[in-house]
Amino acid sequence: MSLALRSIAALGLFFLVLPARAAANESIPTPEALAQLELRAAQAKPRDQCFLYTELVHGLTQQAAAQIAADDTDHAAATLRQIDQDAQLIQRSLARNSNRLKDAEKLLHDTTFRLGQLLHLVSGDDRATVQDTRRQLNQINDELLNQVFNH
């Protein structure tokens, strides 16, 4: 094998292993913990909902990553749809002069980075779904940044 082919193979392996190693270092929230966080966010004061929903989206992204790594595409697709729904709740809560905007922005930035890593593990319809979710979260992250710098 030529040096160029070995370099390309090593680089490809790096991009496949990186998301798996990152997922191994993060604890994946249980469905019960996610349900509790969702309930807590729904019942929270309006000013606290932005951060709590961002935490929920981050946890759901971890769950989706684990599902994709386990080749559980049906559950991963359902989790990504849930992320899309909760992302809309983040967006709605931005207008409420939210607390912890900087923390929410950092967490959302990490979440979109993780979704970018997942793009290397999926194909077809799943890839389009991850791209759409990432695009939506990037837009929300931009709105969060604007609010952080305007406060």
* Spatial CA neighbour of 90 closest among 108, 78, 77, 103: 108
Q: State in Å, rounded, how far the first CA of the chain is from the last one.
A: 57
pLDDT at position 20 over 80: no
pLDDT tens string 106-137: 999 999 999 999 998 888 888 999 999 999 99
pTM: 0.79
Of residues 13 and 150, more confidence is placed in 150
Per the CB < 8 A criterion, the answer to whether 66 and 115 are in contact is no
pLDDT at position 4 over 50: no
Per the CB < 8 A criterion, the answer to whether 113 and 77 are in contact is no
Q: In which residue are the tokens 């997942």 written?
A: 118
Of residues 11 and 108, more confidence is placed in 108
Q: In whole angstroms, what is the distance from residue 28 CA to residue 30 CA?
A: 6
Q: In whole angstroms, what is the distance from residue 101 CA to residue 54 CA?
A: 10
Q: In which residue are the tokens 């946890």 written?
A: 59
Share of the chain above pLDDT 90, in %: 62
